[in-house]
Structure 1
Amino acid sequence: MTRITGGHVDEVDRSILAQLTEDARRSVTTIAENVHISRAHAYNRVARLQEQGIITKYTALVDPLKAGLRSSAYVTLKVRQHSWRELREQLKAIPEVHHIALVGGDFDVILLVRAVDNTDLRRVVFDQLQNMPGVLDTQTFLVFEDLDTR
């Protein structure tokens, strides 16, 4: 068993999580049928996974091109030591930033930035990210093609 956020995750939980990852709108009845457990048992499992913070939210997966976000890039940041907590909140407030990760290696943070076009992407990188206190350096990697593996 894998220990996550104070709770045990077993094979049934993993199957439920896979069902919800594939389609967050899937009904508890359908999940129960697919996982081969009772509806009540599935409902209790999903509730427990939510209470333990394993399921944190339900969301839609959006095709960025069809949503008008024609320019995407991974942007790496080198940041001043001890600036992460404040910087994290500022990054979360930028609508074009779709994913934030604190990482180890040659840089400290990696972002997925999605914008309507290259002009908008440039504005986010040069006017917002590079001007944040605590950001020492950025590097931008344009995304030519996105593939969703889920």
Structure 2
Amino acid sequence: MVTSAYILIKTASGFEKKILSTLKEFGSIENADLVYGLYDIILKVSINSSEELDSFIFDVLRPMEGIVETMTCIIAPEK
């Protein structure tokens, strides 16, 4: 079952555009936008499992230079 989520990313000043450009290369990212407010980037991702989502967040996103904080909002299934 595909897991979809919004991931909000806070970056260090000056890293926003570089991180956004890098993230747009990942196939699992449906949409990536710079935003104003508490967070700098919002991603919408679709990933095959919660384990892959964990791996993407902990092994790809958080170690990336310039990423200060992430918040993940898993999309609830419609019924």
How far the C-alpha of 1:85 sits from its partner, in A, is 2.1
- Deviating runs (4+, > 2 A) in structure 1? none
Q: Which residue, 124, 127, 133 being the options, matches 2:65? A: 133
The separation in 1 between residues aligned to 2:18 and 2:12, in whole angstroms, is 11
Q: How does 1:1-150 map to 2 (within 5 A)?
A: 70-145=2-77
* Superposed displacement of residue 97, structure 1: 1.1
In structure 1, list runs of 5 or more residues that go unmatched.
1-68
How far apart are 1:84 and its partner, in Å? 1.7
Percent of pairs with identical residues: 27
Asked if structure 2 preserves the Cα contact closer than 8 Å seen for 1:77 and 1:137, the reply is yes
- The residue type equivalent to 2:28 in the other structure is E
In 1, Cα distance between the equivalents of 2:32 and 2:21? Answer: 10
Q: Normalised by the size of structure 2, how large is the TM-score? A: 0.90
Whether contact under 8 Å (1:73, 1:142) holds in the other structure is yes
Q: Report if the CA contact (8 A) 1:96-1:114 is conserved.
A: yes
Q: Which has the larger radius of gyration?
A: 1
Larger strand proportion of the pair: 2
For structure 2, which runs of at least 5 residues remain unmatched after alignment? none
Which structure carries more relative contact order (alpha carbon 8 Å, separation 6+)? 2
- The AA in structure 2 aligned to 1:89 is S
CA RMSD of aligned residues (A): 1.3
